[in-house]
Amino acid sequence: PRSPLSTVILSLGKTLHPPCLQCGSTGVLCVFQPPPAKYGGRHTVTLIPGDGIGPELCGHVQELFRFCCVPVDFEVVNVDSAVMGEDDITNAIMAIRRNGVALKGNMETNHNLPASYKSRNNLLWTTLDLYANVIHCQSLPGVRTRHSNVDIMIIRENTEGEYSSLEHENVPGVVECLKIITRNKSLRIADYAFKTAREKGRSRVTAVHKANIMKLGDGLFLECCKEVASGYPEIPFDSMIVDNTTMQLVSRPQQFDVMVMPNLYGNVVSNVCAGLVGGPGLVPGANYGTDYAVFETGTRNTGKSIAKCNKANPTAMLLASCLLLDHLKLHAYAEVIRRAILSTLSELHTADLGGHSSTSDVVQSIMDAVQREGPQTLNM
């Protein structure tokens, strides 16, 4: 059996960067970036329907975009998560490399499959180096929750930490799982958090960690955050241990603004915050890298139990599509659709919000709201 350390070193080499098309190297500098897929004013965006409620929600996005004459064409790439082979996901990754932008549903990871089967979603983040997962949890008008005025932006490191898929059983009954924290990636995500905070005029950045226990791992993360914070003197920076964070989130969530954290804490904290503002049906999520961007629902649920029942809440996916439009600089379309979604949210609620409307009712109401707004004339 190979020693854990050598396994780490070998696999770090594999997970660093995808091989460059021009020279085959896996270094940082060599990236063949094709020009964006925009012709005649129309963009091409990769669409990965995924599993569970993914396909129906993606279908609604396509329907709404067609209705609003959004100049976006979707290239649909199906990924079958039940097969062991990686052809489908490689195909999807290639499609995202070509188009630069994607919208996806969640792909299910069956934990009964052997350990060599890597999570398809994880493969996407690591291969395309989509290092920042941004989830913006805001209290939405029309949705009553226990806490109001919540406005938290969670920036989660998306490519390392506990999701490095490095596990071994050297002695039967004893499993070792490696959590990887690197200085480069921690600096990068901290810088992303502060840059975003500055751009959006946010008031503080909180790093979430467990450095009292994982002194080296989370300690490194915290140190990197502090280093980056010194470069942004106008934004106050503090840190909080993850157990205290979750308690504070459920008692007084208004105290948080921008939060930056490693992978697993990000998963937990983003789900808590989504629950605070109304549930998984409301919060969109975005994954950004230097060259690509992929949009999806914030809490990455497959929704298998309500698949094909016309019960799912389309808000999260539709708001994610608005984020997509903003990324493509089609701000006017994004604004119109967002306004329509929010006005519908005050009238119709799906089952997850305690109402009785179906998904198609909500989408139809959104389209009616867009219709009501009407185009402006030259005279106005």
- Three-class DSSP category at 156: strand
φ, ψ for residue 309, nearest 5 deg: -100, 0
Q: How many residues bind other proteins (CB under 8 A)?
A: 37
Furthest C-alpha separation in the chain: 78
Q: Which of 4, 59, 67, 142 binds other proteins (CB under 8 A)?
A: 67
**Binds other proteins by CB under 8 A, chosen from 3, 80, 98, 309:** 98
Residue from 6, 29, 41, 85 touching other proteins (CB under 8 A): that is: 41
DSSP for residue 136? E
Closest CA to 358 of 291, 286, 306, 321: 306
Q: Which of 38, 118, 179, 195 binds other proteins (CB under 8 A)?
A: 38
169-190 b/e (C-beta count within 10 Å ≥ 16 → b): eeeeeeeeebbbbbeebbbbbb
| 32 or 113: CB nearest other proteins | 32
Is residue 332 within the footprint of other proteins (CB under 8 A)? yes
Binding of residue 308 to other proteins (CB under 8 A): no
Distance CA 256, CA 152 (A): 6
The distance of closest approach from Cβ of residue 330 to other proteins in the complex, given in angstroms and rounded to an integer, is 8
Which of residues 63, 73, 88, 162 is near other proteins by CB under 8 A?
Answer: 73
Q: Kindly tell me which of 66 and 304 has the beta carbon lying closer to other proteins.
A: 66
- Residue 180 or 325 having the CB closest to other proteins: 325
Residue in 6, 22, 112, 230 binding other proteins, rule: CB under 8 A: 22
Amino acid at 209: H
Angle between helices 359-373 and 315-327 (to 10 degrees): 40
Residue 296 DSSP label: E
Residues that bind other proteins (CB under 8 A): 21-22, 32, 34-42, 44, 66-69, 73, 75, 91, 94, 97-98, 331-333, 335-336, 370-378
